[in-house]
Amino acid sequence: MNTPLIKFKDVTKSFGDRTVLERVNLEIYEGEVTTIIGLSGAGKSVLLKLIIGLLKPDEGTILLRGKPVSKMKKKEINAAFAQMSYMFQGNALFDSLTVYENIALPLLETTNLKKSEIDRRVMARIEQTELTDAVKKFPSELSGGMQKRAALARALITDPKIVLFDEPTTGQDPVRKNAILSMIAQYHRKFGFTAILVSHEIPDVYFISNRVLALYERTIVFQGTPEELEDFDHPFKDEVIHSLEALQKELTGLYSKRQFKVLNHAQMRRRAFGDTYCIAVFTLEDINSIIRYLGHDAVQEAIRRMGLYIDKHFGVIGGFSTRRNTNEIVTVLPYSDITEAENILKYFVKDFQGLEINDIWTGVRRRVAMAGPVEFTILAGIAQGQPIAEIDSVIDSAKSHQKEIWTATMRRRGEKI
Amino acid sequence: MVPAADNQTRSENETKWQLGMLLSRPFFSIGRAVIRWINILGAATVFLFLALVKVFRSKQLSKIVQQLYYIGARSTTIIMLVSVFTGMVLGLQSYHALVKFGAQGAVGTLVALSLIRELGPVLTAIMITARAGSAITAEIGIQRISEQIDALHTMRIDPLRHIISPRVTAAIISFPILTTVFDLIGMIGGYISGVMLLGLNSGVYFHSIQANVEMKDISDGLIKAIVFAVIVATVCCYQGYFAHMRRDSHGAQAVGLATTSAVVISCVLILVSDYVVTSLLI
C-alpha cells in the first residue's frame, strides 16, 4: 500500500488530568474520503485539531507523507498545513463580516490575486453552494444550513488538497444532512481533495466514505472500509453504530444497510428450501446533472420522499427497504415469485405515476434553487432469489434488469413540461 | 512497643512542622502570585512585541485605518464632552482658589498646565479604556471562544497580524491625537467658566496660557499618552485573546470577566504608570 498521507503513531493527548486520546494509531490515505465515527465527546474534534496542527500531541508522532511533523522545518510545516482546510463544527464564521467577505478572506489575506480574480472565485463558490441570495448578509442573518454552506464555501475557496470536516451535518434536517454529504462527495470527485470527516450520519456517511475510523474509549479500534466495518465484532458496534442507526431509521424511514441485511437474513432463515423472494432496485438516473440544475437539497428531498413512498407501498405487503447508494433504493419482497413481484411493481408504477409523483415534486419544488430544464428518469428492476443465494448477487441481477418506469423534463421552479 | 518519650518527641515534631507550614503558607501564596504575574508580564511583553513587529507586514494599512476610526474617531464625542466639563470645573475651582490671593490672572495657566501635563492624558486614556478598550476585549474574546481565531490559524492567517497589530497601532496613533483634542477643548471649558461666567479678562486668560505653557509640557503629555496607549491596547487585547485560558470561568462568562479585568487592570496601570512616567520626566 502507498505511504499514508497522515499517520498517527501512539499519539496521546490530555487536557489537565483528562486523557482524551491514548496511544492512537491511524492511517489516512491521499484522495480518499475517511470518516471518523464515535460517540459525542470521544475526542473526534481533538483528533482533527491534531491533524491540522491546532493542538500538539503530548506523546507519540504525527507523520505527514511519512515525515514526522516534529522533525519538519517551520517552512515545511507551513507548506504542508497551507494545503489543508478545516470546516469547524460551529462554522467559526466571522460575525462582523458578510458571507462574501468571509469566503474571500483567505484569498485576500494569503494570496496576491487581483480583486477581479478573487471576486470571480468567490462568486463561483457562492453559486456552487447555493448562497447567491445571501452574499451581503451577515452570518447571524442566515439559517443554520446556510451558515454551514458558507463555512463549506470558505473551506474550499483556496482549493485545498486536504479538507477536514468537523461534523458538517450537525443541526441540519435529514434532507440537508444528505445534501451536505452529497455536496462533499461531489466536490471530492470534482476537485480530488482528501476529505477527513467527523460524522454521526450512519449509514449515509458510508455512501461517500472510502475508509472508516472508529474512535472508542480514547483510541482507534477499527480502520477499514464501510463493508469491513459490517463484519467488525466489537462492543463499539453495539454502543455506537446500533444506537446511531436506530436514530437514522427515525429520520429517513428506511433501514440501514446493516439492519436490512440482518432483517433479510432473519426472513430467509424462516423459509423452506425452494421458496423464493424478490428484490426491486429503484434508481434516480444521472443524479449529478439533476444536482447541477436543481441543487443538492431538491434532489435529496426527492430521494427521501421516493424512499418513504416505496417503504409505505411495499411495507403493506411485508416488504422492507434500504438506501443502498445516494440514488438507489433496494426493496425486498420476501414472499413472492417473479410474476407476483412484476404485478406488484406494475401497480406501484401506476400509483406512482398517478398520485405520489405529485407529492414528490411538491417537495422538490419547495427546495429548487436554480433554473433550467432537467430530465428526471426513474429506473426500476426486479430479480428473483432463493434463500441460499447471496443478496448482493440478487441486487446486481435486479439492477441489470432495470427499465425506465417514469421520465419527465422539469423546468424552472420544478414545474413539469 | 514504642517508648512513650519517642511518641512525645514525634508529636512535638509534627506540631512544629504543622506550625511551620501554617506560617509559611502566606509566603507560598505570595510567591505563587508573584511568579504568575511575572509570567503574565513576560507573555504580555512578547505579545506586544510580536504585534508591533507585524505592523510592517503587507495589507495592514486598511485594517489600521478601520481601527483608527473605531478607537479614535468614534471616541471623539465622548472625549470632547468629558474635556469641556473637566475644563469648566478646573476654571471654576482655580478661580475661587486664586481669587483669595488676587491671582485670578493665573487661571489660564493652571487650567492649561493641569490639562496638558496630567488630566488630559490620564482622563483620555481612562475614557478610551471604558469606551473602546472594553469593546476590544469583548470582541476578541468572542472571536476566541467561537473558534474564529482558530479558524484564522487553519487559514494560515496570523491572528496577531490580523487582529492585534492593527488595534495596537491604532491606539498608539489615536491616544496622542485624542489627548490633544481633550487639552484644547478643556481649555475652552476653562474659558467658558473663567471668562464667560466668572468675568475674567479673555486676553489675560489666553496670554497666561501662551506665556507659561512650554513645549516640554506638551511633549511630556504626549509621551504619557503614548505610554498609556501601549498599556491599554496590550492589556485589552491580551485579556480578550486569552479569554479561553481563564481558570475562573468559561465561555461567555470568561469573556465578561476578561472585559472587566481589562478595564480594571488598564485603569490601575494608567495611574501607576502616570506616577512613574511623571517622576522620570519631571
DSSP-derived secondary structure for B233-273: HHHHHHHHHTGGG-SS--HHHHHHHHHHHHHHHHHHHHHHH
* Cell numbers for A196: 477527513
Biggest CA–CA distance in chain A, Å, is: 73
The pLDDT of residue A274 = 64
Lowest mean pLDDT of B44-48, B55-59, B137-141, name the range: B55-59
In the structure, what pLDDT confidence band is assigned to residue B1 with cuts at 50, 70 and 90?
Answer: low
In the structure, what pLDDT confidence band is assigned to residue A410 with cuts at 50, 70 and 90?
Answer: low
Strand order in the sheet with A219-224: A84-87, A162-166, A194-198, A33-37, A211-216, A219-224
For chain B, count helices (H), then strands (E).
12, 0
Q: Is residue A335 pLDDT above 90, yes or no?
A: no
Interface test with A, best of B154, B160, B163 (most A CBs within 10 A): B154
Lowest mean pLDDT of A81-95, B70-84, B113-127, name the range: A81-95
A109 and B151 in contact by Cβ < 8 A?
no
Give the nearest chain B residue to A163 (CA atoms): B154
Interface test with A, best of B57, B60, B156, B160 (most A CBs within 10 A): B156
A81 and B156 in contact by Cβ < 8 A?
yes
Q: How far are the Cα atoms of A38, A400, B161, B234 from residue B239, in angstroms, in the given order?
A: 35, 66, 17, 8
Give the bridge partners for A212, in sequence order: A35, A224
Higher-pLDDT residue of A326 and B227 is: B227
pLDDT in tens, B13-54: 888 888 888 888 888 999 999 999 999 999 999 999 999 998
The pLDDT of residue B242 = 94
B151 and A92 in contact by Cβ < 8 A?
yes
* Cell numbers for B99: 481669587
How many beta-carbon contacts under 8 Å exist across A and B? 46
Strand order in the sheet with A277-284: A320-325, A328-333, A277-284, A374-385, A403-411, A415-416
Strand order in the sheet with A18-28: A18-28, A6-15, A59-64, A67-68
Whether the CB-CB separation of A246 and A226 falls below 8 Å is answered with: no
Task: Report how far residue A106's alpha carbon sits from residue B155's, in angstroms, rounded to the nearest whole number.
Answer: 6
Cross-chain CB nearest to B156 (options A54, A82, A96): A82
The pLDDT of residue B239 = 95
pLDDT in tens, A193-244: 899 998 877 767 777 888 889 888 888 988 988 878 777 777 777 666 666 6
Number of alpha carbons in the 13 Å side-chain half-sphere of residue A225: 4
B154 and A86 in contact by Cβ < 8 A?
yes
pLDDT in tens, B97-132: 999 888 888 999 999 999 999 999 999 999 999 999
Domains of chain A: 6-240 (3.40.50.300), 253-416 (3.30.70.270)
Interface test with A, best of B58, B63, B67, B147 (most A CBs within 10 A): B147
Q: Residue A371 burial (CB < 10 Å; 0-12/13-18/19+)?
A: exposed
Q: Is residue A37 pLDDT above 50, yes or no?
A: yes
Whether the CB-CB separation of A329 and A254 falls below 8 Å is answered with: yes
B156 and A95 in contact by Cβ < 8 A?
no
Give the nearest chain B residue to A151 (CA atoms): B151
Task: Report how far residue A164's alpha carbon sits from residue A340's, in angstroms, rounded to the nearest whole number.
Answer: 49
Which residues contact residue B105 at a Cβ distance below 8 angstroms, ignoring those fewer than 6 apart?
Answer: B98, B200, B201, B204, B208
> Is the sign of the CA dihedral A288, A290, A296, A300 positive or negative?
negative
Residue found by looking up cell 446533472 in the block? A289
A109 and B157 in contact by Cβ < 8 A?
yes
Question: Nearest to residue B237, comparing CAs of B153, B155, B170, B182?
Answer: B170
Whether the CB-CB separation of A197 and A184 falls below 8 Å is answered with: yes
Around Cβ A223, how many Cβ atoms within 10 Å?
Answer: 16
Q: Judge if the upstream peptide bond of residue A160 is cis by omega within 30 degrees of 0.
A: no
Cross-chain CB nearest to A54 (options B148, B153, B157): B153
Task: Report how far residue A282's alpha carbon sits from residue A266's, in angstroms, rounded to the nearest whole number.
Answer: 23
Whether the CB-CB separation of A216 and A243 falls below 8 Å is answered with: no
> Is the sign of the CA dihedral A96, A102, A108, A109 positive or negative?
positive
Mean pLDDT for all residues in chain A:
81
CA of residue A398 relative to chain centroid, distance: 25
Determine the 3-state secondary structure of A14 from DSSP.
strand
